[in-house]
Structure 1
Amino acid sequence: MLRGQKALVTGANSGIGLATAIALGRAGADVVVNYVSDRDAAEDVVRRIEGFGVRALAYEADVSDEAQVTGMFARMLEEFGTIDILVANAGLQRDAPATEMTLAQWQKVIDVNLTGQFLCAREAAKEFLRRGVVPGVSRSAGKIVCMSSVHQVIPWSGHLNYASSKGGVLMLMETLAQELGPSGIRVNAVAPGAIRTPINRAAWETPEAERDLLKLIPYRRVGDPEDIASAVTVLASDLMDYVVGTTLFVDGGMTLFPGFATGG
C-alpha cells in the first residue's frame, strides 16, 4: 500500500505513535521514529519495523524546538532522500483547573501539541513542494496527517490547554489543506476518542474507571492504538487520494454525545 514511500512519525516510541510507525512499516514505508525520551523504546520500534524488510531510523527531537525539528528533517533527507508522509502525532497533557493552570502548563501543551505540528508540517511541505509528484510512488506530492482529538469539538473541563491545542490543530490542518492542496499535497487529521495509551491510563486501567468511560462511548469499547494506526495508514495511502482537509473521527461514536440518547 505504501511501498517505496518515506514516512516520519513524531512521538513514535509509545502509544498511538508507536502503533502508527509499525503500521506504516508493515504497509511498506521506510520510517523515521521520532522520540523525545526513552531511546531504548524507540530502537525497539525500529527493530520491529525493520522486520518488515524496510528501513527505519530513530531520531531524538523535541518537536517544539525549531532547531531540533529542522535538524531532524535534514537527517531524514540525508538518510532517506525525501519524505512522502508526515504523521504529526507528538502530544502531551498538563492538566489543571483553569484558575490553577500555570502559564508554564499552558505554554508547554501549546508548544508541543500545536506549534510542534506547525513546525513539522512546514518542513515537510517544503520538501513536498520542492520534489512534487513522483509517478509510481504516490498520486500526491505528499501527505500530512495531523493527530487531533475528539476534544477539537468537545469541551473538556480541567484540560483547557489540551482542548485549546486540539481546536488549534483543526484550523492548522484545514488552513494547510486549503493552501497546499493546489500543489497536490493532501493534509488531513485523525481525531481519536478514548484510546488505551499511557497518556490516559487512569481513565481505563481499573474496571470502575473503564465502566465510567464506556458511558461516553456508544460502541461500548475503549479503542486500541492499532485502531488509530489503521486509520492513519489508509488515510496516507492513494485509496484516500481525494480526501483533503478532513478530520476522520476514530472514537467509537463519542462525538455522538451519547448522553442525549436518553434525552440528555
Structure 2
Amino acid sequence: MKRLENRVAVVTGSSSGIGQTIAQKLAEEGAHLVIDYIGHREGADETLRMVQAAGAKGIIVQADVSKLDAVKELIDQGWSAFGSVDILVNNAGMEKRAAFVDVTEEEYDQVLAVNLKGPFFLTQVFVQRLRSAKKSGRIINISSVHEDMAFPNFSTYCASKGGVRMLMRDLAVELGPEGFTVNNVAPGAIVTPINKSLLDDKPKLNALLANIPLGRLGTTDDVANLVAFLASDEAAYVNGATYTIDGGLSRSYHEQ
C-alpha cells in the first residue's frame, strides 16, 4: 500500500518548480491533489497530467493565497471534489531584491502577503474544516534556509520566512493536542526555472557551490521526497521541526 493512499493534499504554487514536483511525488505516494496556481494555467495543466500519470486524481484551482476569499475557495473545492483535505503544503512564495533602505511599502506588502499571510490564513481554514469534521491533518510549510540565515538585500523575504518559522513552532504547540502536525522544510539552493540566471552565470554558480559541502545544488526531487515523508504516517511523531535541506550550505556559508 502506498504511504498516502486515498489522502488529499493541497499544494499551493504547484504549477512549476518545487510545488509541481511535490504534487507529483504525493500523487505517486497515493494522494489526490488540489493543484493551486495563480498565473500559469499551462503549468497547472502539466501538473495535473503528472498527477494522473501517477494514478491519482487531481483538480486545478486558481487561487491567490494572499486573498482570504481565495484560500477559502481552495479548501472548499478540495472538500467538494474529494470529501476531505488531509495534507496542506504551503509552498507558494516570492522574493524581491532590494536594499533595505530602498524597500517600498508595496514590495513589503506583496512579499509578506504571499509568504506569511497566505500560509497563516490558509492553514486556519484548513484546520477549521478538519476540526469541524473531527479529523486532524498534516501541515508542511516550504520555508527557506533564510528563516534563520541572513540574506542581505532580501529583508522582506527573510522577515517573511522568519515569521513562518515562528508560526510553525507556535501552531505545533497549539494544534498538536488535536492531532495536527506542523513542520517546515527549508531548502537552500535548488535547481528550478526561477534560478536560470544563476545557473547561466558560471562564476557566480561556482562561488555558491564552493559554499555547499556536498558540492551540488539541490533538486526539486530532494525537497519533494522530504515533504512526502512528513506527510506520511512515518512522521507521525514529528512536530514543530524545521528540516533544512541545503547540502550543508547554512553551516558553511558566509557573505563575500
So what's the TM-score if we normalise by structure 2? 0.96
| Identity of matched residues, % | 37
Cα offset for 1:219? 1.0
Residue 34 of structure 1 is matched in structure 2 by 36
- Pairing of 1:106-255 with structure 2 (within 5 A): 106-133=108-135, 141-255=136-250
In 1, the alpha carbon distance for the partners of 2:162 and 2:79 equals 31
Amino acid at match of 1:236: A
3-state DSSP of counterpart to 1:99: helix
Structure 1 unaligned spans of 5+: 134-140
In 2, the alpha carbon distance for the partners of 1:124 and 1:175 equals 16
Cα offset for 1:258? 4.5
Cα offset for 1:207? 2.2
Residue 137 of structure 1 is matched in structure 2 by none
Residue 71 of structure 2 is matched in structure 1 by 69
Amino acid at match of 2:55: G
In 1, the alpha carbon distance for the partners of 2:133 and 2:247 equals 38
Deviations 1:62-90 (A, max 9, x none): 00000111111111111111111000000
3-state DSSP of counterpart to 1:245: coil
Amino acid at match of 1:73: I
Deviations 1:154-212 (A, max 9, x none): 11100000011000000111111111000000110100000012333323333222201
Cα offset for 1:127? 2.1
In 2, the alpha carbon distance for the partners of 1:259 and 1:114 equals 26
So what's the TM-score if we normalise by structure 1? 0.93
In 2, the alpha carbon distance for the partners of 1:106 and 1:120 equals 20
3-state DSSP of counterpart to 2:100: coil
1:15–1:197 CA contact under 8 A, matched in 2: yes
2:23–2:51 CA contact under 8 A, matched in 1: yes
In 1, the alpha carbon distance for the partners of 2:66 and 2:84 equals 22
3-state DSSP of counterpart to 2:101: coil
3-state DSSP of counterpart to 2:102: coil
1:32–1:76 CA contact under 8 A, matched in 2: yes
1:218–1:258 CA contact under 8 A, matched in 2: no
1:87 to 86, 89, 96: 89
RMSD of aligned residue pairs (Cα, Å): 1.5
Q: Size of the alignment, in residue pairs?
A: 254
1:46–1:57 CA contact under 8 A, matched in 2: yes
3-state DSSP of counterpart to 2:204: helix
Cα offset for 1:128? 2.3
In 1, the alpha carbon distance for the partners of 2:110 and 2:49 equals 31
1:89–1:147 CA contact under 8 A, matched in 2: yes
Residue 16 of structure 2 is matched in structure 1 by 14
Cα offset for 1:36? 0.3
Deviations 1:72-117 (A, max 9, x none): 1111111111111000000011111011111111110000000001
Amino acid at match of 1:172: L
Residue 136 of structure 1 is matched in structure 2 by none
In 1, the alpha carbon distance for the partners of 2:101 and 2:196 equals 25
In 1, the alpha carbon distance for the partners of 2:200 and 2:28 equals 29
In 2, the alpha carbon distance for the partners of 1:258 and 1:38 equals 34
Structure 2 unaligned spans of 5+: none
3-state DSSP of counterpart to 2:200: coil
2:24–2:54 CA contact under 8 A, matched in 1: no
In 2, the alpha carbon distance for the partners of 1:205 and 1:223 equals 16
Cα offset for 1:11? 0.2
